[in-house]
Amino acid sequence: MKVSDRTSGVEYVIRDIISYARKYESTGKQIIYLNIGDPVKYDFKTPDHIKAALIDAVTKDQNYYAESEGLPELRKAIVEKESQKGFPLADSDVLVTNGVSEGLDMTLASIVDPGTEVLMPGPYYPPYASYVKFYGGKPIEFKLYEDGRPDVEDVSSKINSKSRAICIISPNNPTGEVFDRKGLQQLIDIAIEHNLYVICDEIYDNIVFDEQFTSIGRVASDAPVILLNGFSKGYLMTGWRCGYICLNSDSRKLDGLRENVPKLARVRISSNLPVQIAAIQALRGPQDHIIEMVQKLRKRRDYVVKRLNSINGISCKLPRGAFYVFPKIELEHRWNDDREFVLDLLNSTGVLAVQGSGFGREFGAGHFRIVYLPPENVLEEAMDKLEIFISKSSK
Ligand SMILES: Cc1ncc(COP(=O)(O)O)c(C=O)c1O
What is residue 318's predicted lDDT score, i.e. its pLDDT?
95
Contacts (Cβ under 8 Å, ≥6 apart) of 27? none
Which amino acid does the sequence have at 220?
Answer: A
What is residue 86's predicted lDDT score, i.e. its pLDDT?
97
pTM: 0.96
What is residue 296's predicted lDDT score, i.e. its pLDDT?
98
Mutate to test the pocket of ligand 1, among 78, 179, 200, 203 (most ligand atoms within 8 A of CB): 203
Q: What is the Cα–Cα distance from 276 to 97, expressed in whole angstroms? A: 10
- The full set of domain ranges for the chain reads 5-45+288-393, 48-284
Find the 231 Cα to ligand 1 centroid distance in Å.
9
Closest CA relative to residue 123, chosen from 369, 387, 302: 369
pLDDT in tens, 347-368: 999 999 999 999 999 999 999 9
Give the DSSP per-residue string, 272-303.
-HHHHHHHHHHHHS--HHHHHHHHHHHHHHHH
Contacts (Cβ under 8 Å, ≥6 apart) of 96? 66, 69, 70, 71, 74, 75, 78, 242, 243, 244, 271, 276, 279
Q: What is the Cα–Cα distance from 383 to 17, expressed in whole angstroms? A: 20
Find the 128 Cα to ligand 1 centroid distance in Å.
10
What is residue 192's predicted lDDT score, i.e. its pLDDT?
97
pLDDT over threshold 70, residue 31? yes
pLDDT more than 90, % of the chain: 89
pLDDT over threshold 60, residue 60? yes
* Beta carbons within 10 angstroms of residue 153's beta carbon: 10
Mutate to test the pocket of ligand 1, among 13, 106, 108, 125 (most ligand atoms within 8 A of CB): 125
Name the H helices within the chain. Answer: 13-16, 18-25, 48-59, 72-84, 99-111, 127-134, 152-157, 181-194, 217-220, 255-267, 273-284, 288-309, 338-349, 361-364, 376-393
Phi/psi at 273 (5° precision) = -65, -50
The ligand 1 atom nearest the CA atom of 125: 1
Mutate to test the pocket of ligand 1, among 101, 202, 240 (most ligand atoms within 8 A of CB): 101
pLDDT in tens, 267-323: 999 999 999 999 999 999 999 999 999 999 999 999 999 999 999 999 999 999 999
Find the 122 Cα to ligand 1 centroid distance in Å.
17
Mutate to test the pocket of ligand 1, among 14, 202, 233 (most ligand atoms within 8 A of CB): 233
3-state helix, strand, coil in the chain (%, to 5): 45, 15, 40
Helices 99-111 and 255-267: crossing angle, nearest 10°?
A: 120
- pLDDT band with cut points at 50, 70 and 90 for residue 395: low
- Mean pLDDT (whole number) for 372-381: 98
Q: What is the Cα–Cα distance from 125 to 173, expressed in whole angstroms? A: 5
Ligand 1 lining (C-beta closer than 6 Å): 37, 99-101, 125, 169, 173, 201, 203, 230, 232, 238, 243
Find the 13 Cα to ligand 1 centroid distance in Å.
14
- Mean pLDDT (whole number) for 6-19: 78
Pair type for strands 138-142 and 243-247: unpaired
Find the 386 Cα to ligand 1 centroid distance in Å.
27
pLDDT in tens, 135-175: 999 999 999 988 788 999 999 999 999 999 999 999 999 99
Q: What is the Cα–Cα distance from 256 to 247, expressed in whole angstroms? A: 11
Output the residue whose Cα is nearest ligand 1's atom 16.
Answer: 173
Mean pLDDT, the chain, as a whole number?
95
Find the 39 Cα to ligand 1 centroid distance in Å.
12
What is residue 11's predicted lDDT score, i.e. its pLDDT?
75
Per CATH, the number for 48-284 is 3.40.640.10
Q: What is the Cα–Cα distance from 307 to 41, expressed in whole angstroms? A: 23
5-45+288-393 adopts what CATH topology?
Aspartate Aminotransferase, domain 1 (3.90.1150)
Closest CA relative to residue 326, chosen from 267, 283, 371: 371
For the chain, report the end-to-end CA distance as a whole number of angstroms.
49
User: Quick check: do 5-45+288-393 and 48-284 share a fold?
Assistant: no
- pLDDT band with cut points at 50, 70 and 90 for residue 216: very high
pLDDT in tens, 110-138: 999 999 999 999 999 999 999 999 999 99
- pLDDT band with cut points at 50, 70 and 90 for residue 107: very high
Find the 104 Cα to ligand 1 centroid distance in Å.
9
pLDDT more than 70, % of the chain: 99
